[in-house]
Amino acid sequence: MEFGIACENGGNAAERQEYLEGATSYGLKKAWLGKTFNYKDGKTYTIVGLKARSSKFPVVCINDAGQKMVFTSELITAYMTNPTNIEQALVEAQIKEMRKAYVWHGALGSLGLKEAWLDKTFKHNGHACTIVGLHEKGRHGNRETFVVVQDNEEKKKLYLAPIDAVVKAMGGKTKAAA
C-alpha cells in the first residue's frame, strides 16, 4: 500500500486554508498544520495543507529540502498519534481502510463472503488468522479481489488470502461449488 508521492515544489495559501476547513473530515486535527514528523526516508516533513480533490493523497507536506510531497491522511494520523510505533500504527490504518472495503463491498454475496465473517478467525497456511478486510489488486479490467487477514500471533503481518480459500475455511460455498 502506497502512503505518499512526490509532487511539484512549494506550498500555497489555498491548500493551507483547505486544511483548516477540511481537516476533520479526513480524521486530521487542525492543530497538526505546521507540525513536523520524521518520515522513513530520513527527512523531516512539515504539514502545510490539504488537497481535498485528491482522495488518495490529500495531505500536502514539504520536506527539509523544500520538496513537496502528498500523503494519505492515515499516514499523517499514524505519525501524529503514535510516533514511537509507526509500523503498528500503519498496520492499524491499513486495517481500518480494508475493513471499510469489506463492509461497503456491494458484491460480498456474489464472492461467496459474508459480512458476519469480519473479525472471525480461521486457519490460513497453518496460521490462525482473523479476517480484517478486502483489497483489490491490479488495474482496469484485470482487477482481483482478496480477503485481507491478520496473523493472530504476529499482529504486524497482514496477508492477502484468495477468496475461495477463505470461503472454504469458513465453511461457505465457493463460487466454483455454487
Domain stop point among 81, 115, 135: 81
Q: What is the pLDDT of residue 173?
A: 74
Report yes or no: 19 and 50 within 8 Å, Cβ to Cβ.
yes
Place of cell 514539504: 62
CA angle centred on 120, ends 100 and 135, rounded to 5°: 35
* Neighbour order of strands in the sheet with 36-38: 4-7, 68-71, 59-63, 44-50, 36-38
Residues 8 and 75 in one domain: yes
Which residues are bridge partners to 148 per DSSP?
133, 160
Domain stop point among 81, 100, 133: 81
Q: Domain total for the chain?
A: 2
Q: What is the pLDDT of residue 2?
A: 45
Gap between the Cα atoms of 46 and 79, Å rounded: 12
Which residues are bridge partners to 36 per DSSP?
46
> What CATH number is attached to the domain comprising 145?
2.40.10
Q: What is the pLDDT of residue 10?
A: 52
Q: What is the pLDDT of residue 120?
A: 93
Number of H helices, E strands in the chain: 5, 9
Gap between the Cα atoms of 137 and 19, Å rounded: 30
Residues 10 and 73 in one domain: yes
CA angle centred on 38, ends 156 and 3, rounded to 5°: 55
pTM for this predicted structure: 0.59
Domain boundaries, position 155: 89-169
Place of cell 487542525: 30
Q: Going from the first residue of the chain to its last (178 residues), give the mean pLDDT of each consecutive group of 10, the final group possibly shorter.
A: 45 88 93 92 92 89 92 89 77 80 76 90 86 83 85 84 90 64
